[in-house]
Amino acid sequence: MDIRDLHLNLAEWNELIERCLADPGSEPVLNLDRDPESGTDSGADPGYDAVFVGGGAGGRFGAAYMRAMGGRPLIIDAWPFLGGSCPHQACVPHHLFSEAAEELDRMRWFSDEMFFPKFDASRASILELVKVFVAGRGSAHAFMNWQTKEQLDVEYVLNARATIVDKHTVQAAGRTFRAKNLVLGMGARPVNPDIPGLDKRGVFDFVGLVEELDYEPTRCVIIGGSKVAMEYGSFFHATGCNTTIVSRSPLMRTKALHHVDEDLRQYVVGGMRKRGMEILEGAQPVSVNGGDRVRSVTVALASGEVVDIETDFVFMGTGERPNVAQARQVIGIEVSPNGRAVVDKRMRTNVPGVYAIGDMIDGPMEMFKARKSGVTAARNIMGEDLEFDYTEFPDFLHTTYEVTWVGLTEAEARERHGDDVIIIQMPPYVEGLDTPNLPLPCAEGTMLYAFRRPELSGFQKLVVHGASRKVLGAHHVGYGAKDAFQYLDYLIQQPGGLTIDTLGWMNELFLNPEHFVQLSRLRAGKAQLKHL
């Protein structure tokens, strides 16, 4: 379907996308320039500066940036919408479920208190929220397509699988497209370990959950200890679906996460246990059992004991594997032993003119890396000499809390600076102070907890280097601090760093979720810094 001259509104886009998703044989959606010399079909002139294979966050942002710089990108995607897995199966449902977990948690703690009704677990349905998500996800899809065509002026071919022919040529929708460069943003898919029984009905990952769930789970076993395991597990448990996490590594000590402060980890994982989740660390899943449908999971515990956990719902939180096979086979891109496309800091693969971005490459499978890697590829293609180093970044996850962190942990700071590390923390660590009953920290999202369940009102820690007075790290459990952390990250990474004096002289928007500004101000007057 050629939509170049149509200017669909959001409802029309929504309807078209839904029609395409419902019919696997539906036509490709073509938004291509009319210019006959435009790089389609003719073969001779590589008319596009780049074909972005994959229109997820990396491809969409890369293509948009290239177009804004005056370049000519083309996006090709197998899905009938742009934006990739984020609005369809990943970040957006995760945030919907995490927000529900936070709400449900509050309703449970305050059941039948003040204006809260008595908590009715029968109304907290995983299936219903999955349906709410699936019914509503099309509006983000529609907007991505509309914005990319009408505002960002980027050409695309959707609902058409791309076949890479060589490093300048891609076929899709029965046409051949030629370009000076290829930018591969083909994403990743959940990967399962080799455990017998994972083919049974009732075993899901974050993709299968939104695409296939058709019953209300009553008991959940999660295999794996990833962010996904903690986030989805916290939601399932908050609905009343009792959840056990089976993880080889201690939670938040998996290889994929760095800079996790031990006090923060204990508050977070302790909080999950306080809410009744069973967390089996050092445990090995042995088999998933049942007939056609899952009935139990056999687990070898850290103690060596082997137990059978009855369940009607297994959720896999064991990570993802990049989609590198086609690009490796056809154009020979180098792939690392962990299955990621190998790129330099300009996102160049070993094949000249071929870039890889997003979840295909090393580093965290997070949005900032996806989008910025796409933009880095685009800017380099357009002649800039730009590097993107994603080894340091602020990070976050959700349980029934929002957990954010950046920079060094206390232990890492002490490894580097010995005793010259100052900790500013809330609640403070003082033996015998009865801090569980201290209604601090408190701010948005934690005020009710502060007054009625003070031990639930969060945790925060600032790590400062005594001699230079620079902030080395910040760690937060509560709500509403993600924004602050993306700016804190920037400030900490500046050549001069961020000192406790500068931080303490900022204008706090009281009651600010992280209390770092005012806590720093209370200490900044001291020439020789002290803990707080």
Q: Which residues bind ligand KPC (CB under 6 A)?
A: 57, 60, 83, 86-87, 92, 140, 144, 371
Cβ-based nearer residue to ligand KPC, 63 or 421: 63
Query: CB of residue 183 vs ligand KPC: minimum separation in angstroms?
Result: 14
- Measured CA to CA, the distance from residue 292 to residue 377 in angstroms comes to 47
Query: CB of residue 57 vs ligand KPC: minimum separation in angstroms?
Result: 3
Inter-residue contact 276 to 243 (CB < 8 Å) = no
Question: Is 315 known to be catalytic?
Answer: no
Q: Which helix (H) or strand (E) holds 268?
A: helix 262-274
Assign 3-state DSSP to the chain and report helix, strand, coil percentages, each to 5. Answer: 35, 25, 40
Both tokens assigned to 32:
């291509």
Question: Is 88 known to be catalytic?
Answer: no
Terminal-residue alpha carbon distance, the chain: 64
Residue closest to 177 by CA, chosen among 164, 187, 186? 164
Nearest residue to the partner ligand KPC, using Cβ:
57
Distance of alpha carbon 51 from its chain centroid, rounded? 25
Query: CB of residue 96 vs ligand KPC: minimum separation in angstroms?
Result: 10
**Catalytic: which of 30, 32, 74, 86?**
86
Residue closest to 141 by CA, chosen among 81, 60, 207, 64? 81
**Catalytic: which of 74, 82, 456, 472?**
82
Cβ-based nearer residue to ligand KPC, 374 or 478: 374
345 C-beta neighbours (distance < 10 Å), count:
14
Cβ-based nearer residue to ligand KPC, 83 or 473: 83
Inter-residue contact 238 to 124 (CB < 8 Å) = yes
**Catalytic: which of 88, 141, 398, 476?**
141
Dihedral sign from CA coordinates of 280, 253, 484, 98: negative
- Residue 484 φ then ψ, to 5°: -60, -40
Partner residues linked to 407 by β-bridges: 473
**Catalytic: which of 10, 91, 198, 438?**
91
Cβ-based nearer residue to ligand KPC, 51 or 294: 51
Query: CB of residue 147 vs ligand KPC: minimum separation in angstroms?
Result: 8
Question: Is 510 known to be catalytic?
Answer: yes
Question: Is 86 known to be catalytic?
Answer: yes
Burial 187-207 (b: 16+ CB within 10 A, else e): bbebeeeebebbebebbbbbb
Cβ-based nearer residue to ligand KPC, 60 or 167: 60
Query: CB of residue 140 vs ligand KPC: minimum separation in angstroms?
Result: 4
Cβ-based nearer residue to ligand KPC, 119 or 368: 368
Where helices occur in 382-427 by DSSP H, the ranges are 410-417
Cβ-based nearer residue to ligand KPC, 377 or 498: 377
116 C-beta neighbours (distance < 10 Å), count:
14
Query: CB of residue 83 vs ligand KPC: minimum separation in angstroms?
Result: 3
Question: Is 91 known to be catalytic?
Answer: yes
Query: CB of residue 370 vs ligand KPC: minimum separation in angstroms?
Result: 7
Q: Which residues belong to the active site?
A: 82, 86, 91, 141, 510
